[in-house]
Structure 1
Amino acid sequence: MTGERPGERRTALVTGGGSGIGRAIALRLAEDGFATAVLDLDTEAAERVAEEARQKGHEAVAFGGVDVSDRPQVDDAVRRVRETLGGPALVLVNNAGVSATQGFLKITDESWNRIMAVNLNGPFYFCQAVVPGMKDAGWGRIVNISSSSAQSGQQYMAHYVASKAGLIGLTKSLALELGPAGITVNTIPPGFVDTPMLRDSEERGLLGGSVSHHAELTPVRRAGRPEDIAAACSFLVSEEAGYVTGQVIGVNGGRNT
């Protein structure tokens, strides 16, 4: 799979690309031949991932300090990506997200709004910013990284789950509207992937057991890897996936079927 056809060079934009799943996706898309923009709030993390891709001979540029919940910053970042990489972002992966664990009655307006701002408003802003360029090109791929918790529910995470469920709904609606323009929109809800966020939950005793314990309860008998999500994303942004849109592609080792 490649991001380049004869006479054509394509740019991929990955939010939250500085670590975990976002890092794996950014590196995979760079390997696939896309000129890859690695966006993250953490400037140093974004630069480390972009440099890692460049060391392997791929084209990647870091754009740090980007708060996806701030529309002016989003619009500016999309403009800078276009200017720096010489073309519009024709692949968008909305991966940036934040999590929180709170009893329902303890969720404050501030906490609710922050979760929604990053996890749902951010993808909305980025989609609005990149879709015009995709329409002009007659081709585009959008992949939204949601969460398996939006399919099953999760206690003490009502705000997080609601934001990710909203992202699934946004995906389905955009797929119907943008399909005639040559743009596909899909979502991957990862389940139990070994990331810094999962390990933090383990350390805080929020998993109800260790990562190893839960891996043994997973049908494939292991935790997911960020590279598992990146592989699915690689397919969804490829030419071969042009007939796949509006889909929820679970990558969870069989934990949700």
Structure 2
Amino acid sequence: MAKILEGRTALVTGSTSGIGLAIALRYAQDGAKVMLNGFGKPEDIARARAEVGLAMGAPKAPYSNADMTRPAEIREMVAACQAELGGCDILVNNAGIQHVSPVEDFPDEQWDRIIAINLVSNFHAIKAALPGMKAKGWGRIINVASAHGLVASPFKTAYVAAKHGVLGLTKSVALEVARTGVTCNAICPGFVRTPLAEAQVKPLAEKHGVSEQVALTDHLLDRQPTKKWVEVEEIAQAAIYLAGPHSGSINGTSISVDGGWVAQ
């Protein structure tokens, strides 16, 4: 049976772990050639490249260590994807970081870094990849935003501002490309089960003097009505649909994968 992304090429930022890796792996399993990007321990990056490479039928997936705070490196990453894979048909802007602090104590450097990685990098990657997509008459831009792109939480001013900005960027680009064969959409996850997220449970349990299960359901996932983690595979499923052959009329929208968070 034909794979739905056969013949397509994809670049997924922040894809050496977590959501990005799940998306990259799913794309490779569905026939795409995928370039990875992200930081991490060398052995973890090697493992991710091998895993995605195996799904691609290659020894390892191509990889860029581009720093998402550096526009020149982002442009070089997109150019490398085009040179090594023959194009960049699908761009997934997934790289992101977080910092939690009251606004009056929020470090300036953390604000600048979060805005740069979570928002500004999306602009530079889109700007670099879009001409090639337009030339082919086909492209898919998928920005991984957040439930915090639609609603706010205290102590996360930079993250909330950046993710709201991502949704605005998504809509504006979508209108520009509406007649080109390119689409631009966003995915808005809730709390997703990743090692970094799971590591927050034990400290919350200790802080509130409760079990880890209560810490998870009543504190970390207090705004997620299902009281369950979103799994990375569920985000990857949304990403495969948006990149697939039957999504051409979906443009400028956001898909919430959040257990009902923003329905409240």
Deviation at 1:242, TM superposition (A): 0.5
Counterpart of 1:127, as a letter, is I
Match of 2:62 in 1: 62
Correspondences of 1:18-167 after superposition (within 5 Å) = 18-42=16-40, 44=42, 45-56=44-55, 58=57, 61-85=61-85, 87-167=86-166
Distance 1:215 1:69 in 2: 30
Distance 2:156 2:192 in 1: 17
Q: Does 1:238 align with 2:244?
A: yes
TM-score scaled by structure 2?
0.88
Deviates more, 1:221-230 or 1:45-54: 45-54
Counterpart of 1:242, as a letter, is G
CA deviation digits over 1:78-131, x for unaligned, max 9?
11112212x110100000001000111011321211111101111111001100
Unaligned runs of 5+ in 1: none
Counterpart of 2:229, as a letter, is A
Aligned to 1:193, the other structure's residue is in SS state: coil
Distance 1:131 1:144 in 2: 14
CA deviation digits over 1:197-254, x for unaligned, max 9?
3123334439976224455874445211011100001000111001001011000111
Question: Taking every aligned residue pair, what percent have the same amino acid on both sides?
Answer: 35
Distance 1:221 1:117, change over 3 A: closer
Distance 1:116 1:203 in 2: 29
Unaligned runs of 5+ in 2: 209-213
TM-score scaled by structure 1?
0.91
CA contact (8 A) 1:43 1:65 kept: no
Which of residues 210, 213, 231 is equivalent to 2:215?
Answer: 210
Q: Does 1:249 align with 2:255?
A: yes
CA contact (8 A) 1:17 1:96 kept: yes
CA contact (8 A) 1:26 1:38 kept: yes
Distance 1:55 1:101, change over 3 A: same
Match of 1:12 in 2: 10
Q: Number of aligned pairs?
A: 252
Deviation at 1:16, TM superposition (A): 0.3
Distance 1:217 1:25, change over 3 A: same
**What's the C-alpha RMSD, in Å, of the aligned pairs?**
2.1
Distance 1:127 1:204, change over 3 A: farther
